[in-house]
Amino acid sequence: MPLDEDTVRLAQGKNLATVVTLMPDGQPQALLTWIDSDGEHLLVNTEPQRQRARNLRRDPRITVLIHSDSDPWDWSEVRGRVIETVDGTEAREHIDKLARKYVGTDYRNPIGPQGRVILKIAADKVNTPRSLGRR
């Protein structure tokens, strides 16, 4: 299903997202993270050895809750699945783009030997205040 305009706006803005994946025992794992969108998918940038990346290789289901940095009633929940991972130069350039959006400089943290990956997320269900008739 396509992303709605509220979700794309929130993902492309300077807003944080909570990303929820499933641990091997089924326990949810939630992490606050930077978020982006290409207009069709949500994009999360991580390192392939991180727990959330390992969880998603085993089970591609994911929930992303994007929170507006200025309005607690402006949010989007996307339930979906990772349909593609992108690595190499594109993933490295993407983490720099995200860092410039959120902190104003290129990404300065060390990057492990496995590099970075972009998790491309397709929506199965999208909930926003507008879609729920609350805005």
Average pLDDT over residues 108-114: 83
- Decide if 62 contacts 19 (C-beta within 8 A): yes
CATH class of this structure's domain 5-127: mainly beta
Q: Place 58 in a pLDDT band, splitting at 50, 70 and 90.
A: very high
Cβ count within 10 A of residue 102: 15
Task: Return the pLDDT at 1.
Answer: 83
- Do 35 and 18 contact (CB within 8 A), yes or no? no
Q: Which residue has the tokens 């060390």?
A: 110
Whole-model pTM above 0.75?
yes
Structure-token match 């300077």, residue found: 14
The mean per-residue pLDDT over the stretch 97-126 comes to 93
Pairing between β-strand 117-127 and β-strand 42-46 as defined by DSSP bridges:
antiparallel
pLDDT mean across residues, the chain = 94
Positive or negative: CA dihedral 6, 9, 15, 17: positive
**Which pLDDT band holds residue 134 (cuts at 50, 70, 90)?**
low
